[in-house]
Structure 1
Amino acid sequence: MRILFLAPQPFFEARGTPINVRNMVTALSELGHEVDLLVYPHGDNVDIPNVRIHRVIRIPGLGKAPIGPSKEKVIYDAAMMIHAFTTLVRGKYDAIHAVEDAAFMAWPLSWLFGVPFVFDMDSIMSDQLRYSRFMRDGFLLKAFERMESAALRSASMVITVCGHLTEAAALRVDRSKIFQIEDTPMTGAPPPGLAVEKLRAELGLPEGCEPVVYTGNLEKYQGIDLLLDSAVEVAREHPSVRIVVVGGSGADVEKYKAKAGAMGLGANVVFAGPKPPETMPTYYELADILVSPRIEGTNTPLKIYTYLDTGKPVVATDLPTHTQALNRDVAMLARPEKMEFARAILLLLNDKGLRRALGDRGREYVRSNFSYASFRKKLEEAYKHIR
């Protein structure tokens, strides 16, 4: 099958959606499909067998599209629509695979060219608009919801990444069209001990400190403010603790670094900044505890599967974004309040045996339920229903 895969994202970047896109096109390629991947002009070049990467034109004076809704995204989506149209004029495709807002491109293109399209639903976009406050007018939000529903109904197939999204989609389309394909961990080979010690020295971590590691962007919905508020309480009992924050744009890193300093956490919080994917296993190995303090959203963060696969204990907020994938047998779940989140971290810092047991159970759970082989098999079954 020849597939036009529309991913309106900078590609490649080491964060949730671009990683999921890479997994998806890699699996499709391994299953024997021919994939043309159309993405934004920004991002790192990667080689994926049997996948041709095409980039929309870089628009002078327009910067990289940030995470979430933005004027840059609107403009680059328009450019992607034009590029996709000309691509379909030039060649014959068997399916259009549309990630998130690309569904609004695939919907009319599917009708124009008679090509079935897949709606790859990684979130509820109308909810994203509400959270970001990018669109505040109630009438416009309702209109967007109706468009989102119409696109779902027009799709030949809907792929979701978690149970909450499956239930949301099922309110709008028949369940027979919905295929839930959870993300899969991306940890890489364990690093040698010397690499971890070198990283510890580079970060300036003192001997005997207890690293609590967060990875991901520093957008508000990720709960970085909650993490810092909790760190104050943790540091009172464990002055040697170090919260290592990996990821985020330069501006966000500086903003939160200043906030941490003002809170008296200058010695306890280390901002490593964004790092390439190949270095992440070393950060995971460095950690005594991995945290996900997310406070908004409904889709499960991809990093949760990777966290579990490391065998390190996980602390996450007790919200549907996490609980549809996690339970108290494999992770420490805490209400999104500073004292509760701090208490969960402290419980693990004070009990090495609990850390080891929780980490072991988490690894066994994710490898039994969310392996790459399982991910690829689910995708293979879903694509049999393209019509």
Structure 2
Amino acid sequence: MAKILMIAPTPFFADRGCHTQIYEEIKSLQKLGHQIVLCTYGLGRDVPGVRTARCLNFPWYRKLEAGPSFTKILLLPLLTLTVLKTAFAFRPDIIHAHLHEGACIARVCKYFFRRKKYIFDMQGTLTGELLQHKFISQTGLPFRFYRFMEQRIAGWFPVITQSESMLGELRLLKGDGVNAANVKDGVDTEIFHPVPFDAGLGARLGIDPEKPRILFMGLLEEYQGVDIMLNAFAKASLRMPDLQFIVIGYPNIGKYEGLCKSLGISGKVKFLGRIKYQELPSYLSLSRVAVAPKIAATEGDGKIYNYMAMGMATVAFDRSVSREILGDAAFFCRAGDAGDLADKIVHALSSPGECEEKGRLARDRAVKHLSWDAVGRRIDEVYRRLQQ
């Protein structure tokens, strides 16, 4: 088996989708016998079983949430030095770079380690993320620069990604000859599985198991569809006055508590904040119906995998990525339409039999096609082709 050095230019581990994907990839590859060292930022939480090398961190930098920042750019040289130092000591067979910044660091490594094998793990588009976070505008010179860099990066190394939509984005950047594989995303179906309502946790949080409930888990950001989702909640609550909304995630809790107040639903929404990944199954047990309001056309959506493994029925915006993940195991509504989302929420909560069937289909699909073990085997096959 191979020795793998992974580069993750992110404050790993911070209980969000990108980090969960990296963590579960590592676990699945370790099961197959690979030795892995992860190089990441100095900020973040160590995870048992993951050998981690961290770069120095600036004392003022405490940003754990997703999104670009100038400080992250300043940290890249420090992380590059850590990667080089680790590579000289560990002597990996393969350097596996997560995210576009990781690919840039891997490009530097190639000047020192020309015979190593390299792979770029692409979780989304660079310019798409920068636009979503309003870091750049689509009309300025920075956009053209980052688009140029995105095109160059896509051709440096073989690429793995998690959806057919992302493969389509790659082909737009580099043409049909791009060297890429869709290894898909996954979920740990042993940790995440259907469990009864956690009565103790529900009582502590003030959640009534006799009243209808719907749950959201994810980053609380406008580009994640949270503003649209809360407007939909307000519309749905007019038709179902007892409806309870459970919201797991961060940051911007104060901002969205204010929005809920303006919408008149403050007493109906419970913001639970950041929950540790290992504790999520108990919290997900609090609802049999979940919502996935992401609006980005091609970006993955890791929360859906967790919903599916728990046997939850999902109400999701109709995106190609969501269709690819969920198949028929969901209630789909028009993307970006708060009214239609509210309609589908009400329909789902008013149709317990249909919800139960959607949840059963989702769990079955997760076990058969979306387990991390299957993802690990697909990545392992890419590794084997690299080493031939």
Question: Could you tell me which residue of structure 2 aligns to residue 110 of structure 1?
Answer: 110
1:167-178 equivalences in 2 (<5 Å): 167-171=168-172, 172=174, 177-178=179-180
- Provide the rounded CA distance (Å) in 1 between the counterparts of 2:258 and 2:35: 48
Could you say which residue in structure 2 is the equivalent of 1:274? 274
- Residue 193 of structure 2 contacts residue 311 of structure 2 at CA under 8 Å; is this kept in 1? no
Task: Tell me the distance in 2 between the aligned counterparts of 1:380 and 1:147.
Answer: 28
**Which runs of structure 2 are paired with 1:20-169 in the superposition (5 Å)?**
20-48=21-49, 51-100=50-99, 101-114=101-114, 115-136=116-137, 138-155=140-157, 157-169=158-170
**1:123-173 residue CA offsets vs partner (Å, 9 max, x unmatched):** 011211122221236333222222222222121x21001111112223416
Q: Tell me how far apart the structure 1 counterparts of residues 259 and 359 of structure 2 sit (CA, whole Å).
A: 31
Q: Contact (CA 8 Å) 2:330, 2:358: kept in 1 or not?
A: yes
Which moved further from structure 2: 138-147 or 333-342?
138-147
- Secondary structure at the aligned position of 1:314 is classed as strand
Match of 1:362 in 2: 362
Q: What amino acid maps onto 2:350 in structure 1? A: N
Matched, 1:331 2:333: no
Deviation at 1:211, TM superposition (A): 1.4
SS across alignment from 2:62: coil
- 1:211 corresponding residue in structure 2: 213
CA displacement at 1:229 relative to structure 2: 0.6
Counterpart of 2:386 in structure 1 is 386
CA contact (8 A) 1:348 1:354 kept: yes
* Residue 350 (structure 1) aligns with: 350
- Other structure's SS at 1:98 match: strand
SS at match of 2:232: helix
Between the aligned partners of 2:95 and 2:4, the Cα distance in structure 1 is 6
Local SS of the residue matching 2:47: coil
Q: Which runs of 5+ in 2 are unaligned?
A: none
The alignment partner of 1:267 has SS state of helix
What is the distance in 2 between the residues matched to 1:307 and 1:207? Answer: 19
For residues 163-185 of structure 1, the C-alpha deviation after alignment (integer angstroms, 9 at most, x for no partner) is: 11112223416657212111112
Q: What residue in structure 1 maps to residue 184 of structure 2? A: 182
CA contact (8 A) 2:193 2:309 kept: no
SS in structure 1 at match of 2:285? helix
| Equivalent residue, structure 2, for 1:259 | 259
Question: Once the 2 structures are TM-superposed, how far is the Cα of residue 189 of structure 1 from its aligned partner?
Answer: 5.5
Q: Which residue identity is paired with 2:308?
A: L
> Could you say what the CA RMSD is over the residues aligned between the two structures, in angstroms?
1.9
What residue in structure 2 maps to residue 9 of structure 1? 10
Deviation (angstroms), 1:119? 0.6
CA–CA separation in structure 2 for the residues paired with 1:166 and 1:84: 28
AA at the equivalent of 1:130 = L
User: How many aligned positions are there?
Assistant: 380
Q: 1:118: how far off?
A: 0.6
Mark the runs of 5 or more structure 1 residues left unpaired by the alignment: none
- How far 1:190 moved relative to its partner? 5.1
TM-score (normalizing by structure 1): 0.92
Residue in 2 that maps onto 1:19: 20
Q: Aligned letter for 1:306?
A: N
Residue 372 of structure 2 is matched in structure 1 by 372
